Amino acid sequence: MYKAKQVKAKFLELLESSTITQSYITMCVITTACVMWGMGMEIPEGLQAVVLMVVGFFFGTKAALLSKKG
């Protein structure tokens, strides 16, 4: 029972800090680009730019959080 409360608290903490939302959006954009590439389709320049922007933002926020903690 105590473990369930910890999991719920951690989930809400991640949801409040937008970590879950950022992760979901990042994975959707990357998956779209990878599926298009795997099917031999040309990836539009706009999608390439969005992939780079989303991945950069995702890892940039992670690095900033780690630097604040450390």
| Assigned token pair, 45 | 């320049």
For the chain, the structural domain boundaries read 2-69
pLDDT digits (tens, 9 = 90+) for 1-27: 578 788 888 877 877 777 788 889 999
Instruction: Give the separation between CA 68 and CA 7, rounded to whole angstroms.
Output: 24
Instruction: Give the separation between CA 10 and CA 1, rounded to whole angstroms.
Output: 15
pLDDT digits (tens, 9 = 90+) for 16-65: 777 788 889 999 999 999 999 999 999 999 999 999 999 998 888 878 87
Chain center to CA of 67: 19
For residues 24-38, one letter each, b for 16 or more C-beta atoms within 10 angstroms of the residue's C-beta and e for the rest, the string is: eebeebeeebeeeee
CA proximity to 65, closest of 8, 14, 5: 14
For the question of whether the overall pTM of this predicted structure is more than 0.85, the answer is no
